Structure 1
Amino acid sequence: MAKRNTLLIVLAFFAIYVIWGATYLLNKIAVTELPAFMLAGTRFFVAGLLIFGIAKLSGRSLKISKKQFINTIIAGFLFLTFGNGVIVWALKYVDSGFAALEVSAQPLVVLLLMRILQGKKIQPMSLVGVGLGIIGIYLLVSQKQIITQDGAVMGMVLIFACMLSWAYGSLFVGKADLPANYFVNTGYQMFTGGILLFVISLLLDEQWISPVAWSTPVQWSMFLLIIFGSIVAFTSFNYLLRVVSPEKVATSSYVNPIIAMLLGWYFLQEEITAQSVVAALVLLTGVYFINTKKRLTLFSRFSSSKIKPLK
């Protein structure tokens, strides 16, 4: 493990807990004014360019093979173009806290996909987690005050489709030939993912809005998403993987949705129902059971070569 620095570790945990939890709020604020795919494309394209600049200044080589470049395009599409861009689109129809809580079931989706595609046996403790996760998701999406809102059901389905994309992408990067340096790898994924998001935006005939015409809240949201959500938090995540145990890093899966729900309630007056609280407790307990030490070790294998969902 790398040399431990207590202050850096504390700051890094703050980043993956609070900053990543806050990205749901920031995306929700921005998407109320900007087209979803143009928004996501701008965020990742600019973040990718900045990462390239930082990599060059720090002496890292940006040279990669043709196969690695193709694989970063595939990973960028699965994680960012589809996996993130569509979730941003879904935020037009669902609350940010609701989206974060639904996304927290990602380990369940990964586990089931591993069973279906790879024939991996699900351990007894993980089976308990799957059962609790399904119950938690049902409690979450069955609330009448939520499903009766315009477009809410479509938003739920879109988020689930994104979770499938992230799950498959997670399995893909576990075996794909990708740049060895995670910072360079991330830069290529963000850069190419951003370009693909721009292409989709053009195909959907989204109306692009100049940054000078954005409202102040949207300008700040985009700045925070690019600098802190895309660069600072991800760098912190990979730093923590080197200096602390994977199960400690994975605790962000339990904290992010809570942060997102509280911020959505405080800043956007999003409702937190009693059933949502119960669903959160059941669902996150299920995720805890799924994240056995063995499973976490598997996740950590590809964590350094991918970006976390939506953040």
Structure 2
Amino acid sequence: MALPKKPVVIVLAFFAIYVIWGSTYLLNKIAVTELPPFKLAAIRFIVASILIFIIAKLLKVNISISKQQFKNTIIAGFLFLTFGNGVVVWALKFVDSGFAALEISAQPLVVLILMRIFQGKKIATMSYIGVVLGFIGIYLLVSQKQLISQENQMVGMIMIFVCMISWASGSLFVGKADLPSNYFVNTGYQMLTGGIMLAIASLFFGETWSLPTQWSTTVQWSMLGLILFGSIVAFTAFNYLLKVVSPEKVATSTYVNPIIALFLGWWILNETITLQSIIAAVVLLTGVYFINTNRVIKPRGIGR
């Protein structure tokens, strides 16, 4: 069945991957001030996966998968969501949402380096320039005195970088793994398995669980936004755009998300935006642009 290419639908889809995904950093930051991080992420992805399977059933989509595909979704779910997202949510207890989004925008740089190390992939000249600019941008971001002086902020930034390695490893894994061809089904199983592992991690670390009725109204709305919009609407829009417009246009979300996150963090949470942070953003995103122009961007994960 051909997908509709109505301009209004395309604009709304771009709004979803630009603004909604850019706002997930803010929503996680708000929620993690009150909820334990692994519990927060576990609830988000388990509930989202259940909703996805319900929608799939209503659309008469076959959700059955092979044992090997199920094993692969567990691995991908761990790399992208259990570790990749769960630890980022933990880091947001100490790191401003805008800084976290800007650091995470360097993920294509990490993917490129791992491809070079483990797959022997040759790096184009423009990509080398992008790598250099990316490292300069990250250095400018994390070398600010106000970051180093705040308790646990540098630890949070380091752990976010480790999460980027996890995401990059997941990207390389799913590029060759046998996974469900339907992105909706693939997402549902990754969220379900990743969410269950997050719940286990939450219990292992002794996090306190509470009913949604005990949460503040702000946190309730934040969680609702993460589940419905961040996990379902935006990812559906992402895959829709990959089918109706060029991958390069879809990849522009890489540059827009951190800008949206920086702005929302400043506007709503009064997070500080320094001149050095702005310069770091320009340098880092320019580097990411150079890297992305030399490869085709494909959907790799659901870690936002």
* TM-score when normalising by structure 2: 0.98
CA-atom RMSD in angstroms: 0.9
After the TM superposition, which residues 98-137 of structure 1 pair with which residues of structure 2 at under 5 Å, given as runs? 98-137=99-138
Which residue of the partner structure matches residue 267 of structure 2?
266
SS at match of 2:122: coil
SS class of match (1:61): coil
- 1:3 is displaced (CA, Å) by 4.3
| TM superposition shift of 1:194 | 0.4
Amino acid corresponding to residue 16 of structure 1 in structure 2: I
Q: Secondary structure at the match of 1:192?
A: helix
Moved over 4 A (4+): none
Who is 1:213 aligned against?
Answer: 214
Amino acid paired to 2:79: L
How far does the alpha carbon of each residue in 1:124-172 deviate from its partner, in whole angstroms, 9 at most, with x for none? 0000000000000000000001111010111011100100000000000
- Given that 1:94 and 1:155 are in contact with CA atoms closer than 8 Å, whether structure 2 keeps it comes out as yes
Corresponding letter in the other structure for 1:156: M
Query: What is residue 144 of structure 2 aligned with on the other side?
Result: 143
Aligned residue for 2:209, secondary structure, equals coil
Amino acid of the residue matched to residue 35 of structure 2?
L
Opposite residue 200 of structure 1, the aligned amino acid is A
1:227-238 superposed matches below 5 A: 227-238=228-239
Distance in 1 (CA, whole Å) between partners of 2:211 and 2:145 is 38
What amino acid is aligned across from residue 284 of structure 1 in structure 2?
A: L
TM alignment of 1:222-301, pairs within 5 A: 222-292=223-293, 294-295=294-295, 297=296, 299-300=297-298
Amino acid at match of 2:125: P
Deviation at 1:109, TM superposition (A): 0.3
User: Shift of residue 57 of structure 1?
Assistant: 0.5
Contact 1:234-1:307 within 8 A present in 2 as well: no
Q: How many residue pairs are counted as aligned between the two chains?
A: 303
Match of 1:38, SS state, is helix
- CA distance in structure 2 between the partners assigned to 1:51 and 1:242 by the alignment: 20
Find the aligned partners of 1:2 and 1:231 in 2 and give their Cα distance. Answer: 18
Shift of 1:32: 0.2
Give matches, 1:65-80, under 5 Å.
Answer: 65-80=66-81
- Show structure 1 runs of 5+ residues with no match: none
Q: Quick one: distance in 1 between partners of 2:210 and 2:36?
A: 8
Number of the residue aligned with 2:50:
49
Distance (whole Å) between structure 2 residues aligned to residue 255 and residue 3 of structure 1: 25
Helix, strand or coil for the counterpart of 2:74?
helix
> Is the aligned partner of 1:307 residue 2:264?
no
Q: Partner residue of 2:154?
A: 153
**Percent identity for Structure 1 against Structure 2:** 71
Question: 2:118 & 2:176 partners in 1: Cα distance?
Answer: 14
Cα separation, 2, equivalents of 1:149 and 1:115:
35
If the length of structure 1 is used for normalisation, what is the TM-score? 0.96
- Structure 2: segments with no counterpart, 5+ residues: none
1:154 and 1:99 mapped to 2: Cα distance? 12
Q: Partner of 1:190 in structure 2?
A: 191
Counterpart position of 2:91: 90
